[in-house]
Copies of this chain bind each other. A is one copy, B any other.
Amino acid sequence: MKNLTIGIDLGGTTITAGLVDGEGRILAQKTCPTALPRPASEVERTMAEMCAELVKQAGLKLDELEGVGIGTPGSVDGESGIVAFNPNFGYERWALAAAMERRLGCAYPVRIENDANAAAYGEYCAGAAKGHNSAVVITLGTGIGGGIILNGKIWSGFNGAGAEVGHTVIVKDGEPCTCGRRGCWERYASSRALVARGARAMADHPESSLWQLAGSPEKLNAKKIFDALHGGDALARELFEEWIGYVSCGVINLVNIFQPEVICVGGGVSRQGEVLLEPIRQALERENFARNLFRHTQVRSCVLYNEAGLIGAAYLARAR
């Protein structure tokens, strides 16, 4: 077996490592708790052990791999292999790539990237944007994550901190954001924002089926709002239409800036598929600056879900 790499998705709670083939298929996978807080060296050791186990079980040696890639939270300088800033882990200027190269003792370099960028790269190489030259991937979740691939390469800024599309203001002087700005896109268009708006609205709408579906505002989630929408609930329809207007607004902003071949929408809500995508496409037909041109950006759902980061990291290991 040739052309195998290991991709690692280093999360705040869990580390997932997978042996991935040249077509982006995960042949074997391992998961360990990240077990924070603990020193960087211990997290590195855990990752190195996971790599060793994965290759051993496959009857291989580490230097028979094509490479190892890691997606990590924080601002990553891919060139130097340093995680410059990773507040959740508490590490500063973490020389992650060099540390892992030392531990693995291999000829190939270990490639690292920000986790959202790695996930976008996964969708680009083996998912919703496969075969295209440019893509912007947005992930609607607690916040809004972004990944930008242009001419086949991740663009994350000269300092590795770019693609923070969730922290672009679409409502000047609007709701305060955790980032210190007001009116950021993610305050209005993340799935958390949809749920928060719904939970507040329930009090004024005792007739809404959200009460039966969720029991109480505290137990509301995005899935239940979509269930109520499909059941014909008026409040859910109102919540959805307001929210999708905000989602579309930010998507059109990105299209007018990048005119990428593909915009991929990820996160749990993207499982709603066309329900989500069709209103975005309609808004683009009205407002895309390039709507009179022959070639338009396509809007698609992400397809790799939780595996995107691992698969993207595995492809990064190959992208020298």
- List 10 interface pairs A-B (beta carbons < 8 Å), by A numbering: A75-B290, A134-B158, A155-B258, A159-B290, A159-B293, A164-B256, A164-B257, A165-B257, A167-B256, A172-B249
Residues in chain B near residue A160, CB distance under 8 A: 259
Known: A158-B260, A165-B257. 14 other contacts (CB 8 A): A133-B158, A157-B258, A157-B260, A159-B293, A161-B289, A167-B289, A168-B168, A168-B257, A169-B252, A169-B253, A171-B172, A172-B249, A179-B287, A257-B257
Over the window 130-162 of chain A, the binary record of Cβ atoms lying under 8 Å from chain B Cβ atoms (1 yes, 0 no) is 000110000000000010101101011111111
Taking CB atoms, residues of chain B closer than 8 Å to A193 are: none
* B258–A169 touching, CB < 8 Å: no
Measured CB to CB, the closest approach of chain B to A310, in angstroms, equals 25
What's the minimum C-beta distance from A178 to chain B, rounded to whole angstroms?
A: 11
Q: Which residue of B lies closest to A177 (CB)?
A: B287
Contact A159 B257 (CB under 8 A): no
- Whether A295 sits at the interface, judged by CB under 8 Å, is yes
A124 within 8 A of B: no
Is A2 an interface residue when CB atoms closer than 8 A count as contact? no
Contact in complex: B287, A180 (CB < 8 Å): yes
Distance in angstroms from A276 CB to nearest chain B CB is 19
Would you call A287 and B155 a contact (CB within 8 A)? Answer: no
A84, B179: Cα distance in complex, Å = 40
